[in-house]
Amino acid sequence: MPHRGALAVAAREPAAMPVIGLAEVRAAAARIAGAVIRTPTLFSDAVSRATGAKVWLKLDNLQATGAFKERGAASRIALLTPRERTAGVIAMSAGNHAQAVARHASLAAIAATIVMPRYTPATKVVRTEGWGVRVVLHGETLAEAAAHAHELALRDGLTFIHPYDDPGVIAGQGTLALEMLEDAPALDTLVVPVGGGGLLTGCAAAALELRPGITVLGAEVEAYAAMAQRLAGQPVRVGGPTVAEGIAVRDVGELPFAWLKRHGIEVLVVPERAVEEAIALLAEGAKVVAEGAGAAALAAVLAFPGRFAGRAVGLPVCGGNIDARALSNVLLRQLLRDGRLLRLHFDIPDRPGMLAAISACIAALGGNVIEVQHQQLFGAPTVQSTELHLMVEVRDAAQGAAIIAALEAGEYGVRRG
């Protein structure tokens, strides 16, 4: 492999590009020691049983800002020259990179400016400002915010800290894999979420040298499979809503792209539903809170079970910054998919005791009615009938099927929603 001895200049088309390797990742680990938490790597029995693989979780959601981005930010800031430290730094981000740069610039007593799109949720702006940095809200998109950040960097002589297209940042992200392989030497496979590609590149650079023969794969969400498309030589077509907004990237890093292509790293594309299932499995099974991007690696294992069956797989839970309402919605949706929540609809005669009879039938089989909507006046098809909607909690799909069968036998005209 040509990446050993890295951060030297290696030829590529059409320009020279720095190469990342194990030596640089180890140097980054020394730079960030004490500034970034060495998070645990834990075997998960629940996730292993659910996937058929032997799964270890690297819990970088436990970092101070809730995500792995601190590694790259701390690494790059530690490389600043005295002049650059005096002038200050600037970054563009609507999420985890913003807080990471803000935190580590603050810890190093370096002035920092963070440019965020105007649509950025107020909570993220407040958390970033909480580190004592200047936040500038500019543009409707990340691209517009990035362009403005570069303008300010040139105007004010600030050092721009890119979230993924910087060798110092990439080397810092690679420390995640370095720690994981030191703590779980039995691993034969790593799956790493991909947004711009910095985390995958850094982790692969460390892993391929440290464990020759190890399999390293990336994981992208279907709506934003930019790296997979570029590696396949396809035009980039991305867009649409996703719970994995932390890896919803249109323009991947040129350095990560070139490195991954040179080393033949494959990126798996996972459906949105698999990401939701992964968030739910981590929360219920492993008792770990993950954002969509942080669950993308597990989503790949769920989406492609045959590729991982019996293998010793390391998965970074690289972020835990998920909105409480989004987490709640994901968990409820998964309960519905698993058949542990039933949405039942009835058109019943408008006479006393019908609701009580239906509730008694459900209760007799162990179901728990948790929501009732009873429409007599306007929703029913005739004045002689009533529209009833129930949400019922059950133990599993089999219990739910038994309840529905009993209701149908009672001629209640039940249908699932």
How many domains does the structure of the chain reveal? Answer: 3
Same domain, 103 and 231: no
Q: Residue 10: pLDDT above 50?
A: no
Same domain, 145 and 99: yes
The dihedral through the CA atoms of 14, 15, 20, 23 has a sign that is positive
Asked whether the beta carbons of 209 and 22 are under 8 A apart, the reply is yes
Instruction: Name the E strands within 100-214.
Output: 112-116, 134-137, 159-160, 189-193
In-domain check, residue 34: yes
Average pLDDT over residues 207-211: 96
* CATH code for position 366: 3.30.70.260
Query: What is the edge-to-edge ordering of all strands in the sheet holding 134-137?
Result: 134-137, 112-116, 89-92, 159-160
Angle, alpha carbons 253-29-128 (nearest 5°): 60
Which residues are within 8 A (CB) of 155 and not within 5 positions of it... i.e. 6 or more apart? Answer: none
Of residues 337, 273, 270, the one with CA closest to residue 301: 270
End-to-end CA distance of the chain: 55
pLDDT one-digit tens code per residue, 266-281? 999 999 999 999 999 9
In-domain check, residue 167: no
Q: Which one of 14-23, 93-102, 307-316 scores highest in mean pLDDT?
A: 307-316
- Structural domain including 320 reads 9-68+175-331
From 6-15, 139-148, 400-409, the region with the lowest mean pLDDT: 6-15
Same domain, 182 and 45: yes
Same domain, 122 and 24: no
In-domain check, residue 307: yes
Angstrom distances, CA of residue 291 to CA of 124, 168, 396: 14, 25, 26
Same domain, 24 and 146: no
Q: Give the number of other CB atoms < 10 A from CB of residue 234.
A: 11
pLDDT one-digit tens code per residue, 336-393? 999 999 999 988 887 888 889 999 999 999 999 999 987 665 555 555 678 889 999 9
Q: Is the pTM of this model over 0.75?
A: yes
Domain end (from 301, 331, 361): 331
In-domain check, residue 168: no
pLDDT one-digit tens code per residue, 26-53? 999 999 999 999 999 999 999 999 999 9
* CATH code for position 239: 3.40.50.1100
